[in-house]
Structure 1
Amino acid sequence: MNIAPIVKLVRAYDATEWEIFISEWQKGLQGYASVKRLGGAGDHGRDVVGLCGPEACQGVWDNYQCKHYEVPLSTAKACEDAGKIIFHAFRGEFAAPRACCFVAPRGPTTELRDLLLNPAKFRASVIATWNTRVSGRVIAGQKHDLTGKLLAYVEAYDFTSFRYATLDEILDDHRRTAYWAARFNGALPPAPAGVAPKDIVPKETVYVGKLLEVYSEVSGIPLNSPADLAAHANWREDLQKHRVRFYDAEAFMAHYRDQTEPGTIEDFADQIFDAIDPAMAAEVGAHPRLTAALSVAGQAAPASVLAPRAKVRVKQGVCHQLANDDRLTWKL
């Protein structure tokens, strides 16, 4: 998919929307007990936090420093923000975070990137700029120079906890969350094609059985199992086409289940059902009912974020999923 328009859009966010976007990223990955936005006056350097347990910021937690600027994040600004976190951890406002990740839509400068990849050098940079960049900014109206116990604390602080994430990395994660479709108007990545196993498996029993009823009615020959199709190449090939549709629909639903809001794939299937339901009212033969359902489903345009990604074969495969769930049958 073309990610360039999305990058441009995200870079145009204001600071608040950037924080919301970052909180979605972490909520969607479901790696924390809770994710909270704390950015604002008195946040002590915490913008978005990922909490690992009930102890919240007094226990294990990660900090996401959200820096939305028109230029890459500079070393000077990062040293200032790192200093705030270290200072307030020193004062006992919270436990030192397990990780502190700088997130800026244009990333860090080359200089800052190299420092964050070399914790000892980043520590040296923070210490060197503390009295000019940090001491007067940690608490309004006060100055806290780097001396005594504070200096010892900074020197012993675990600077490997400071890191950065690029916008490409964030977007790659975000598009696998349930927030992506709603935020970017359905700009979902394509689903993989399904793979039908060579042999029919137990989960196919119901819809395959209903297709066998169709073949039996049309041919006038009892066809009670797939093995009975051995002498009927046309029906055997037709069954395989339907199996491909079924597995494409299975892959489609599985792919988007965790990338969309809860209930999205169920609603998509319900809309397919609603589209074909009137065609099922006619008391006609099993084969006309089947072909009518597939025709209507293939032309259906569900009001769903999934619609742009749903190929005809997927929508027709949903018919077999519905049949498998006993919501549809072909032979009356």
Structure 2
Amino acid sequence: MSNTMNEVPIQKPEPKYLLTNQDVSFGSSIDPLKRMDIFSPDDFELFIELWVTETLIEKYQKIVRCGGAGDMGRDVIAYIKSEDNTAVSWDNYQCKHYGSPLTPSNIWIEIGKLCYFTYIGRYSIPQKYYFVCQKGVGNTLNTLLEKPEELKSEFISGWDKYCKEKISKKNSIELTEELLKHINSIDFSLFSHKTPLELIKSLEGSMSFASIFGGGLKKRRDVPMAPPEKIDTSENIYTEKLFRAYEDNLKKREIVEIDENKLSEYPKFKRHFDRQRVFYFSAVTLLDLERDTRPNNNSFATSLKDEVYDEIIDTIESEFENGFTRVQAVTDRARLMNFSSHPLSGIVRPNDAHGVCHHLANENRIDWVDIYDE
């Protein structure tokens, strides 16, 4: 028997993200760990260079990939930023694309190269030396990396077996008293490693992650918020410019100063103004997504704002009867834009391009009256 008295209607949750054609245009992403398995060794080095560049750009001044013959045990060099902008200190990312996790025998030669080439002065000792393998490091090596003195002791014990004949193709490198003294002066806590999940998680949600592993952007665009009832302080510039455009439209008939309170006396402008605020806040979520997914926290090759600016600037600078007609012509132009060359093209809508015009006005990159009409 139905207990209608106690039935509670099911509340449909408000959507948090916009459904876009990205959700249906991309297939499932390739499992990143499996994808890294099919990299070539060179591809893996390029991936690590990209990873360092995009996730640690705030730390480093310059990143250089020098893997290959003659690298002296350095695959990706990252020069640490300094106050005087000189690149002295550095970190090394040593790439190993193996079929199994790294073991101590895989790394002795690399440590040997560092010890020998710093001993003869070919380069300085790095601050950190990271081993990076798509399979990670095995338990034995992980334990040794956590015990630097034990790591050093085992390395020295294995010099003749792993390093003596392998550092140089021309010469045997004897573990002389002077070289041993140099090795003992090195703090072996500089050796560490990066796990495969560290590499993956720190790139997730970025355009680079999507381009390498597929599946489109993992970070979704939030549903635009409704404009607050009262104008927010962050809106002061573009809204003031709209008021001036409305005044400019009326100046031949009457002298009037329009503000938020007086706007209701002009229904046409009030309706227009309310729509502009909707478009402004629609663009906020798109610009936030662009900021969060672009490489290095810098803009894409061309940012959305720059694309809109380049499209509308000739219209902006054309002659118009008044500022209001300029607003209408410019935003109409923006709504017709094709963003096919932009990485986020699949989620840009006409309302967004319209709203970006007001973001440009809010940043004082464009205006509707005075500078064009005087």
1:130 corresponding residue in structure 2: 159
1:241 corresponding residue in structure 2: 278
Give the drift of 1:112.
1.6
2:343 corresponding residue in structure 1: 305
Give the drift of 1:307.
1.5
Q: Contact 1:63 / 1:99 at 8 angstroms: preserved in 2?
A: yes
> Pick from 39, 62, 69: which aligns with 1:13?
39
1:45 corresponding residue in structure 2: 73
Which is bigger in relative contact order (C-alpha 8 A, separation at least 6)?
2
> Pick from 319, 323, 327: which aligns with 2:357?
319
Larger radius of gyration: 2
State how many pairs are aligned.
325
Greater displacement, 237-246 / 85-94: 237-246
Q: Contact 2:91 / 2:127 at 8 angstroms: preserved in 1?
A: yes
Aligned partner letter, 2:38:
A
Does residue 210 of structure 1 match 2:242?
yes
Identity across matched positions, percent: 21
Distance 1:290 1:74, change over 3 A: farther
**Secondary structure of the structure 1 residue equivalent to 2:175:** coil
2:302 corresponding residue in structure 1: 263
**Secondary structure of the structure 2 residue equivalent to 1:69:** coil
> Pick from 47, 61, 67: which aligns with 2:96?
67
**Secondary structure of the structure 2 residue equivalent to 1:33:** strand
Aligned partner letter, 1:122:
L
The 5-angstrom pairing of residues 278-289 of structure 1 reads none
2:8 corresponding residue in structure 1: none
Q: Contact 1:69 / 1:105 at 8 angstroms: preserved in 2?
A: yes
Q: 1:149, 1:44 → 2: CA distance?
A: 20
Q: Contact 1:119 / 1:159 at 8 angstroms: preserved in 2?
A: yes
Give the drift of 1:304.
1.1
Distance 1:114 1:49, change over 3 A: same
**Secondary structure of the structure 1 residue equivalent to 2:168:** coil
Give the drift of 1:200.
3.0
Q: Contact 1:67 / 1:102 at 8 angstroms: preserved in 2?
A: yes
Give the drift of 1:161.
0.7
TM-score, structure 1 as length reference: 0.74
1:200 corresponding residue in structure 2: 232
Give the drift of 1:293.
4.5
Mark the runs of 5 or more structure 1 residues left unpaired by the alignment: none
Mark the runs of 5 or more structure 2 residues left unpaired by the alignment: 1-22
Q: Contact 1:193 / 1:252 at 8 angstroms: preserved in 2?
A: no
Give the drift of 1:163.
1.1
2:11 corresponding residue in structure 1: none
2:19 corresponding residue in structure 1: none
Deviations 1:139-168 (A, max 9, x none): 114333435222232233111111111233
Aligned partner letter, 1:251:
D
The 5-angstrom pairing of residues 4-153 of structure 1 reads 4-28=30-54, 29-52=57-80, 59-153=88-182
Distance 1:310 1:138, change over 3 A: same
Aligned partner letter, 1:13:
F
TM-score, structure 2 as length reference: 0.67
Q: Contact 2:94 / 2:132 at 8 angstroms: preserved in 1?
A: yes
Deviations 1:107-152 (A, max 9, x none): 2122222222222232233123222112221111433343522223
Greater displacement, 263-272 / 108-117: 263-272
